Homo-oligomer: A and B are copies of this chain.
Amino acid sequence: MHIKPELRVIGIDDGPLVDRQVLVVGAVMRGGAWLDGVVRAYVEKDGLDATQRISAMINGSKHAGQLRAIMLNGVTFGGFNVVDLAALREETGLPAIAVVRKPPDLERMRLALANLPDSGRRYETILRAGPLSVVQTEWRGGPVYYQCQGLGKEDAARLICETAVHSRIPEPLRVAHLIATGIVLGESSRRA
């Protein structure tokens, strides 16, 4: 994969859970450099529609044709509404990377899911996102962890490092987080 510095990437994060419909924001950026557009969708809290809603948000955008990759803040949105990373890749035709600060505690997640309908299906969707890889960006304070579909883990690591320009969180995800928390709470919170 050829990674140009101004490659268009969409970073996607959700806002805090204050309503049954949870705000999801997509920040379209030229690499880590500048914001080119903002899209939004809503997903149901603890629902099963995140993959479909996020695919539709991306495919319905005027930016769809220019996008080269999708970055997600993890695979769970709006509580435990799990994104099927392989299905998202298939629906959009774009490589998809889920990035997190800490390796997920899968056993704890499995127990939390037990209280929800379709718990087995949700858990399998989390696992199906792919093996967890780790990459150390140029920033101190620990590495980041990621799962990816539609591109190799080395390419995904390069894309993460190239776009991690103001913190170890890739800029499209940092910006999507600031927007989603700022709009829902009135003021953005720092950590994605």
Contact = CB atoms under 8 A, between A and B. Distances in A.
State how many copies of this chain the complex holds: 2
Contacts of A62: 187
A135 interface: no
A98 B97 CA distance: 40
Interface in A156-192: 165-166, 171, 175, 178-179, 181-183, 186-188
Interface stretch (A36-44, A66-74, A147-155): A36-44
A182 to B, nearest CB: 3
Nearest to A61: B187
A41 B186 contact: yes
Interface in A31-57: 34-35, 37-41, 57
Contact of A35 (B35, B181, B186): B35
Interface residues of A, number: 25
A120 B9 CA distance: 48
Nearest to A42: B186
Contacts of A166: 34
Given A39-B182, A40-B186, 4 more contacts: A34-B165, A34-B171, A38-B183, A57-B186
Interface of A: 23, 25, 34-35, 37-41, 57, 60-62, 165-166, 171, 175, 178-179, 181-183, 186-188
